[in-house]
Copies of this chain bind each other. A is one copy, B any other.
Amino acid sequence: MKKPTMRDVSRVSGLSVYTVSRALSEDPTGVTAESRERVVAAAKELGYVPNRAAQQLRRNTRSSVAVITSSTSNYYYIDLMRGIQGTLRDSGRTVVVADIAAEGYYSPEIEDATIQDLIQSRSAGVISTLALRQENLDLLRDWQIPIVFVDSQPPATARSLPAITMANYEAGMQVGEHLASHGYDSWLFLAYPVLWSTRFERERGIREAAEKFGAELVVLESPNNVDGAFATLSGFLDAPGATPPRALIAGNNPMIHGAYSVLRDRGIAIPDEVAVVGFDDFAWAGLLDPPLTVLDEDSEAIGVKAARTLTRIMDDQRTAEDSGQSPSPHYQPGDQQEVKGELVIRRSCGCQSEVTDD
């Protein structure tokens, strides 16, 4: 079967391609109801489906939104994507996923290649969970592709770009306060690399809390995956003369997982010997042994907000273009939003009362 084109529909219906195009468009003005019916019938008979590449070329439109992520080892990504997908579906845009730091190891080459790819396919917009290289941000700007950061901040040199983030400093502070309220005075922050920019503010919050409450703080950096966290924490505990902390703060999902595994393997009791608090809630947190106290960031809501912000920017861009103005993305101050995190208290921190959630 040869793929039917608009010309075929034109031939079968006996109407010109112009009329066919008009009849099949969103807003079929200038076409009699009867003609349109003939066109639709012919299209159906032939199994005609428009060629998007040709449409995009001619109309100079973009249709897909790329999500740049370090996703796949981090479970919050599922909720985030759900939020993004659900919101974007309504606006009729496709979601393309580009994982540039699979398994927690980041490579600049993959980042560059990915950006090139996005530009080649003339993406409509980008949502990124990672800070990107300045060079690549410049490229996106030149090509007028709007970007929204989620979870992570834009890099220091481009702080005005839209970003939906958690109030990470306050979150770190909050965690620290809670640990202090239990009387713990030696803390360990098991952290992922700074490439994920949430790290910076979270650490700052924790650090200030430690100072304020006179706790001792060790920050331990691990690759952003479970095995790395496991190895890093094991290595720390095995070092000669090392003393385990009284409380452990796990920076994100993989860190939590690694930490729980290490503690369980060594028979260290949570929370009696070491208390644990994690960042980023996830479905199973309440069913772990013991149920994990986390600072929850509501990833789905963040995803929804990011998608909405991006949609607004893209829509503005299109109307600006239609009225002949510059199609540069127009960012507003309100495009930077902070979402408050919430401490979900379960038992790993030492609290008795477990909140009833799932």
Contact = CB atoms under 8 A, between A and B. Distances in A.
A47 B120 contact: no
A143 interface: yes
Contacts of A356: 265
Oligomer copy total: 2
Given A95-B96, A284-B288, A77 B78 contact: yes
B122 A53 contact: yes
A226 interface: yes
Interface residues of A, number: 60
Contacts of A291: 289
A52 B52 CA distance: 11
Contact of A57 (B53, B72, B98): B53
A189 to B, nearest CB: 21
A92 B54 CA distance: 22
Interface string A160-200: 00000000000000000000000000000000000000000
Interface in A273-326: 282-284, 286-291
A338 interface: no
Interface of A: 1, 3, 47, 49-54, 56-57, 63-64, 71-73, 75, 77-79, 81-82, 85-86, 89, 94-99, 102-103, 116-117, 119-122, 139, 142-143, 226, 230, 257, 260-261, 264-265, 282-284, 286-291, 356, 358
